[in-house]
Structure 1
Amino acid sequence: MRVIVAEDQGMLRGALSALLDLEDDIEVVAQADNGEQALELIQALQPDICLLDIEMPKMTGLDVAEKVKASGLPCKVVILTTFSRSGYFQRAMRAGVHGFLLKDSPIEELSASLRTVQLGGRAVSPALALTFWDTENPLTSKEQEILKLIAQGLSANEMAKELFLSSGTIRNYVSEILQKLDAKNRIDAIAIAEKNGWLV
């Protein structure tokens, strides 16, 4: 199978590529150090699988996965991450990714997962699976939008103008957010949502 490895940390990218290349049935055809480059390589080389880090410059791995799906490219996407955040996982599933694996997985596990994906299956690191299925994002898309604006430092009046809502409606949304997240205040709500990956 032909694989592209996209990871912004050069040493990890090189090590991963070298280890995968040792497998008889895996060929790393290209490496990318940012999401934009990864997408260009996927379009140009049409690999079987692209192994994507989530947090990369220019475009995240999840952004790339969404564009691959929207473009109807045949490449299967496997996310490689250090982040066990349920929000990331849910967004990845919506983007049609075939695998969601931890960076510290043994290379044998990674190779086996790539083979599973190549054969049409899905692969999720066991350490992540249970956590993710149990933690749904409680916030609606509008509540996520408002919490992102709060994180940017906007006041209720500024948010009202931005979203074409009344200040009272914004305050109701904020109250609902705090209640859903069981947060003491706005700062606490932002911290809880970010920790769980619910502001992606």
Structure 2
Amino acid sequence: MICIVIAEDQQMLLSALASLIQLEEDIEVVAQVPDGRQALDAIQTHRPDICLLDIEMPVLNGLDVAEAVKRKQLGCKIMIVTTFSRPGYLQRAMELKVDGYLLKDEPIEFLVDAIRKVHRGQRVISPDLAAFLFEKEENPLSEREREVLQLAAEGKTTDEIAGSLYLTKGTVRNYLSSAIQKLEARSRHQAVKKAMDKGWL
């Protein structure tokens, strides 16, 4: 029996997905949860074989949950099931070595077959997404520029970033300026958005 947890913030879709998957004799849905924090709790409680995760969920998004599962070595395979085909999400998912990345408009038969393949140790990606893997851009940001932009993304001021990284304010401004230039952005906010969209933060 393949035990799975499903995390999806749209209640109707969550219930429908669970009901359809439960029709399979070899798959059991052990928990249905509406956000990332509850998904992580359910994985730790039920120790499922696989967790199906939406990306954009409250509290923790699906990629944050995937990262936590890998870091804590919980032994659960991760399948992202999402409406979002943006390259940045896919790139981060690949860096996290998720086991599956599927679009929600795939037929239920494809999803069920993918669950079985992932359980057998295979990796499954929606055919429509595979092309993105060959088109991904190289990240132009240095490690320090990424750190500075990440803190900016969290809403920290230049002073706070300088304090967090033990840098001078002038140095932080230089890193921000360099990142903005590399990303061809007009402001730190636009640079943050571009970097996040491309999966570089």
Q: TM-score, normalised by structure 2?
A: 0.85
Q: Distance in 2 between matches of 1:71 and 1:170?
A: 32
Match of 2:122 in 1: 121
Match of 1:19 in 2: 20
Matched, 1:107 2:116: no
Q: Distance in 2 between matches of 1:188 and 1:68?
A: 31
Secondary structure in structure 1 of the residue aligned to 2:89: helix
Percent identical: 53
Which has the larger displacement, 88-97 or 103-112?
A: 88-97
Which has the larger displacement, 183-192 or 3-12?
A: 183-192
Cα deviations across residues 107-158 of structure 1 (Å, max 9, x unaligned)? Answer: 1221121121111100111222222442243333422232234442624x55
Label 1:66 to 1:187 Cα distance change in 2 as closer, same or farther (>3 A). closer
Q: Write the letter of the residue equivalent to 2:33.
A: A
Shift of 1:85: 3.3
| Alignment RMSD (CA, Å) | 2.2
Q: Write the letter of the residue equivalent to 1:49.
A: I
Q: Write the letter of the residue equivalent to 1:174.
A: L
Cα deviations across residues 13-33 of structure 1 (Å, max 9, x unaligned)? Answer: 111111112233322222111
Q: Which runs of 4+ in 1 moved over 6 A?
A: none
Match of 2:157 in 1: 154
Shift of 1:180: 2.0
Label 1:168 to 1:71 Cα distance change in 2 as closer, same or farther (>3 A). closer
Q: Distance in 2 between matches of 1:194 and 1:71?
A: 24
Secondary structure in structure 2 of the residue aligned to 1:67: helix
Secondary structure in structure 2 of the residue aligned to 1:134: coil
Answer whether contact 1:55 1:61 (CA < 8 A) is retained.
yes
Shift of 1:78: 0.6
Shift of 1:7: 0.8
Q: Distance in 1 between matches of 2:71 and 2:152?
A: 30
Gaps of 5+ in 2: none
Match of 2:35 in 1: 34
Match of 1:62 in 2: 63
Q: TM-score, normalised by structure 1?
A: 0.85
